[in-house]
Structure 1
Amino acid sequence: MSQADPHVIDEVARLRAELDDANYRYYVLDEPRLTDADYDRRLRRLQQLEEAHPELVTADSPTQRVGAAPDAGFPEVQHAVPMLSLDNAFNEEEIKAFVRRVADRLETHGDPLAFCCEPKLDGAAVSLVYERGELVTGVTRGDGRTGEGITSNLRTLRSIPLSLRGDAPPDLLEVRGEVIMSHEGFEALNDRARESDGKVFANPRNAAAGSLRQLDPKITATRPLEFSAYQVARIEPQPGDASHSQLMARLGDLGFRTSRELTVVEGAEGVIDYCRELGEKRDALGYDIDGVVIKVDDLRLQRELGFVARAPRWAIAFKFPAQEETTRLNDVEFQVGRTGAITPVARLEPVSVAGVTVSNATLHNADEIARLDVMIGDTVAVRRAGDVIPQVVRVLEERRPADARAIVFPEHCPACGSQIEHLEGEVVARCSGGLYCPAQRKEALKHFASRRALDIDGLGEKLIEALVERDWVTTPADLFRLEAERLAELPRMGRKSSENLVAALEKARQTTLGRFIFALGIREVGEATAANLARHFGSLEALMGADIEALEAVEDVGPIVAAHVHTFFRQPHNRETIDDLLACGLTWEEQEVGERPQPLAGQSWVLTGTLASMTRDEGKARLQALGAKVAGSVSRKTACVVAGEAAGSKREKADQMGVEVIDEDEFLRRLARWEAGEDDHG
């Protein structure tokens, strides 16, 4: 056998050093530098080189062991049975080759072998030891032979039984499994971290591993962790179970959670069909998996097949395409959403992630850019899971080039030039040109025409989209310039529908100031707030000229809403659109401030259930116009409760307290009298 080329020796040494460093960062520091795909590529290359040059194989090569040594922060615990890793298959041909190897070694030439298949969970592997039915030890995987004792932390997981169920638990039981975090739990954890300026995790696996290694078990207890068992390492006395799947069912009886996706199949085709089906529903599982674990189901055959240095011969892991990859961030563009949200979008060097070519990824907002400390030119890790928009999850700072540039957030909307709002306490920046901004056009028009705004009958979502896509309508004022003859050219319109729409637009010209303010679509200004603004200022001119202090004096208007209203009316584009609407003939009856009688002044009312004749906001606005305060809960100070359909606990509480309760019909009768100026309450 010829001696290896010096270049091969150097490459082997480099790959070992990179993999050893990656293992240490992954298993010990919980700060991975390599994505799974990067790690797998390096490991496979090293395996190829060592297979071609067996003289280069050493006992400490990453191909011959599992992970890295444990951190000194927790006590070291020796595994009685090593926690070995699995060999990998990356395509269907490699699955077939595994099944052939197993069959050849067992010399089976008859019925196809049975294999137990289940998802390969992407979390943190742990081992649990029970003596006489009680949990005594919980240990991390560590390097496969020595792990970290984290029993106190694992006891906080509700999915781990502290005592085994059943009347006759085994004298000794060692269970292996994975601690994971669901997508829902992960998002909630990161949301809380962002609110408190805490650590935000890149993915659920990191979150699970980091949560397990907290020195204070009380912190671990607050994390949404789940344990799923996948193997029995030791059990005494030996049970009569003949298969791995039977052992998993026994674990379920003892109180453990096992995979609902666990299935026994026959032969290579059965395994491949399972892998395909699980791959198709991978995104809908609610938790991360990175492949399928395939095991010979018969325990006797497992013992006959035995082990190689680092893995069992009777099992293999089929790896799905990686959900995280590294690439270069070439530039950042700022997109305007349909509600005006300004989102920074990373333009990336195209890279395949989870089987899809990704060239764009969201950076969320300015706070996230600061947290990541990301710059243009950086090498970044990009994650894509299911239908989630690809996102940049971390920066490889050691690969930052000298010419990297900071990302600068714009001050004006890239779509319309209006001022961008950065309000205190809000992470999302927004364009303030709601009526004018082309990016928000369809949503603005839908809101403008909605029943609670101008109530333009016949102007639905599809028709608005058709008008905008043809550039017939760019601002709300353009609606009032539409002609029946032209509208009849649209698909499914016709002459009659066109004439009806023009008539509805004519009718909408006469409205109320409150409806008009609501139709403008000012952020966080609902029907009730719009009605309060109209009643307080009396005219549009007075409202448009109000300063922040004057706006905050309006009922139910706080600093944030006041800032939205003030900024909206300061944008020239918005004022031009309003002037255009008035020029199209939109009018309303104005009244002197305080002119309207307020027979309910000082009273507190509560609305509950569903009203058939109006929305809750409409009812609230009409009560407030009569002087009432509308509360969200019933108290002894409540004057009256209006109970609609499906009224619940609020009605019951009112009955208990002796508070007057009226139905919708009586509510409408009283509103009619009060709004007509009749002051009686009967």
Structure 2
Amino acid sequence: MLPDIQEKIQKLTQELNAYNYQYYVLANSVISDYDFDIKLKELEALEQQYPEYKDPNSPTQKVGGDLTQKFNTVQHRWPMLSLGNTYNEQELRDFDERVRKIVGDNVQYVCELKFDGLSISITYENGKLVRAVTRGDGTQGDDVTNNVKTIRSVPHQLHASSFPDQFEIRGEIFMHHAAFARLNKQREEAGEQVYANPRNFASGTIKLQDPKEVAKRPLDCFLYFLYAENRNRLFESHWDSLAAVKRWGFQISEHSKLCSSIDEILAFIDYWDTARHQLSYDIDGIVIKVNDYAQQEELGFTAKSPRWAISYKFKAERVETTLESVTYQVGRTGAVTPVANLTPVLLAGTTVKRASLHNANEIARLDLHAGDTVFVEKGGEIIPKVIAVNLEKRIEGASPILYPTHCPECNTALVRQEGEAVHYCPNEDGCRPQIVGKLQHFIGRKMMDIQGMGDETIETFYDLGLLRKISDIYTLKDHRSALTQIERFGEKSIENMLAGIEQSLEKPFEKVLFGLGIRHVGETIAKKLAAHFKNIDAMGEASLEDMAAVPDIGGRIAESIHAYLHNPEHQEEIARLKAAGLPFAIIEKEQVFAGDSLTGKTFLISGVFADFSREELAELIESHGGKMVSSISAKLNYLVAGDKMGPSKLAKAEKLQVPIISDKEVLAMINQSN
């Protein structure tokens, strides 16, 4: 009797899940609502009577959890980096050439469709879904676990047995065209605002705070990349891991292909540039990944993206519309950007009213005149831009568009540095958008991440005279009575904001440095400067030559930093921020060494090792006093070589006569000293 009950529950679960997927995701009704409800009630009754046989992936469970008041921010175990983009064949060939130069000609690539949706990272422990996190800023994102659990193609519990105890799987949440059309029709009939495109809908839905509402919306998900500790001991390649995760029960795209040459890649791209229009969902390009995990490790990463993958974007859609006017925006750095105001036009699923004109050179190149008919496309299908003028439709006697000579906000004469295309307003301490922009930049997520403050709050405080400089943020606690008078700014909001300001004092030096908004100093440069100089005083004392000698800095960035730190007003501001308690030096952590046998020696690791991951081997070397470096030079003491080491590194090491040793020899060096 009981085996029959278990089989009945399993059969109903599989049958109803299939019906749900057809209806909600593919918008294809293959059973009447009445018949579906009868089967669902039968399954619910059986699950209540025999809970030991209930499937965690049962359709009775895909209804959403409790209401989420606020999404928690979660740090990614492995950063969710973006891919480098290309739009032409030559850049793809250049990518292939760079890869082969480092890892040799024995290389394969996996070509995958680039889904136009929302990136997600899902963590499983012992086969159970425990956490789902959005991309966020790449290092941390929002915990949307309860919402992702409602997606019918995402398993709650895996039934296979060969998966790691803990792993992350990356994927893309999206919506099929038919389901999107059905939903928009329902909203239109109900008098509600319709969505512009499936991607916007998917992104908005996953951020709803009520999972029960999310469960009503037809989302789907493809999974496409696995992360786990010692992953390359489980699989040798990305292709192998895709086959495995499919066996574990994940939905992967059936359209991926393993390619051995650049010509095969180009043929795949050419096919899908046309065939994509027959898919039931949107793609905007093709992703190309080096297949072999050891080769991926050898190629490594830049600060923003992996060197072993690239994204080919399909040619953007182009439309024609009328230029109504040109206005000018002043950014936080003083850069003045011209913006084309257009007659609204539908482009790649969204209504476009404005487009970037970049700079004065671009206006001159386009020979832009008032009232011109212009061609607009989306760069990477994200940011609209004017690419050309239809001269046949130019109005006779139309006036040319002239770039302004003075700031449109404060009327200060604009400047343009030699070798740069952008005009700047030099009045950084008296031009409203620059001041407001710097304040908004400082509180941003990648900088000081001050909770309880947003861009609108900054503008309100500026207009009320509460904020003029960054340091004023740390005096807001002294203006509580003024804060309580602000409309829609209650006691709870004030407490949250002041708590967020206080917590920002714990941010590290590199975050503070990035937050200052020094021109040309982004997140990566700020980290390099902090690591090199250790504190702001050493940076201020450095000469231009010393500054430019820091890796990846160079002359132009050095000049910008040097000028900023030698400006008396900026020096006073830094002094005020120091007095407020912000850190302007890195906190050196005392390192406990297991030994000193490798002290004074530099090492570079390359290849794959049987007994260690590269991270474990690096940790072992550093724990005995050795120093890891990222490139081969004549000063390198040892190249630690494993299997599948790239031929270019080997050739360079041999040319410079750098000793090449194995992991066994590293252990021998440590043990001999001990």
How would you bin the TM-score normalised by the shorter chain?
Answer: 0.3 to 0.5
For normalisation by structure 2, the TM-score amounts to: 0.39
Name the larger-Rg structure. 1
